[in-house]
Amino acid sequence: DAKTTQPPSMDCAEGRAANLPCNHSTISGNEYVYWYRQIHSQGPQYIIHGLKNNETNEMASLIITEDRKSSTLILPHATLRDTAVYYCIVRVPRVYGNKLVFGAGTILRVKS
Amino acid sequence: NAGVTQTPKFQVLKTGQSMTLQCAQDMNHEYMSWYRQDPGMGLRLIHYSVGAGITDQGEVPNGYNVSRSTTEDFPLRLLSAAPSQTSVYFCASSYRTGGMDEQFFGPGTRLTVL
């Protein structure tokens, strides 16, 4: 699975969009980009994933650059409850095993 | 659905004691896995299972055993607890092995080994 690089922390004002970057310059053509988050002391929560097209769901949007070497997770209207560690994971879905390799992630602090 | 459940929520052991962390899911998921999370660090995969009767090692399997006799349950056994196993343990499951599906995580078991 390709290595990812994320900033260690970011701040965002409540009600504003939170844009979390992820660099994955060694991504291969069949690797997907996944985002999970972990709110303090809880189990990680799936947010969104994509291959090359931009994706949107009820939680967030995922923007992947055309060369697929980086992506941005967008929380359109951040709330205090979005304060969490956000993990960007790049992986190839395998026949045997859906292993997720978690890095250090980005600590997002949403402030009022 | 209850989702992924884990018991106990908290546990304190003495060095050398054994115990089993329980994990169950009611979503008929094929894939289940165990992770540990040490303070200030990301999650690391211990063991995983792609179906009943099939298990394999993750990146940090030493000191842990697993078995998968049913689709619903995936217990994690510590045969002889060590202080280095003090951590938060998360169980996860997903529907399709090798697919795109999201993984569902349990609430975690906080284990302290004295």
SS3 category, B66: strand
Contact B97 A97 (CB under 8 A): yes
CB pairs under 8 A between A and B: 69
Angstroms from A100 CA to nearest CA on chain B: 8
Model pLDDT, residue A29: 86
Average pLDDT over residues B76-81: 96
Contact A98 B43 (CB under 8 A): no
Average pLDDT over residues A25-38: 90
Model pLDDT, residue A96: 55
pLDDT greater than 70 at residue A110: yes
Model pLDDT, residue B95: 79
Interface of A with B (CB under 8 A): 32, 36, 41-46, 49, 87, 93-105
Measured distance CA(B97)–CA(B93) in Å, rounded = 10
Partners of B35 on chain A (C-beta within 8 Å) are 102
Q: How far is CA B112 from CA A60, B10, B11, B89, in A?
A: 36, 8, 6, 11
Model pLDDT, residue B59: 87
Model pLDDT, residue B10: 96
Q: For residues A29 and A23, which has the higher predicted lDDT (pLDDT)?
A: A23
SS3 category, B85: helix
Asked if the C-beta of B98 comes within 8 angstroms of chain A's C-beta atoms, the answer is: yes
Best residue in B4, B100, B104 to probe A by mutation, most A CBs within 10 Å?
B100
pLDDT greater than 90 at residue B43: no
Partners of B4 on chain A (C-beta within 8 Å) are 43
Model pLDDT, residue A31: 86
Centre a 10 Å sphere on the Cβ of residue A77 and count the other Cβ atoms it contains.
10
Least confident range of B16-20, B49-53, B106-110: B49-53
Confidence band of B94 (pLDDT split at 50, 70, 90): confident
Angstroms from B54 CA to nearest CA on chain A: 10
Angstroms from B53 CA to nearest CA on chain A: 13
Q: Per residue in A92-112, is it b (16+ CB within 10 Å) or e — as a string?
A: ebeeebbbbbbbebbbbebee
Note if the bond before B8 is cis, omega within 30 degrees: yes
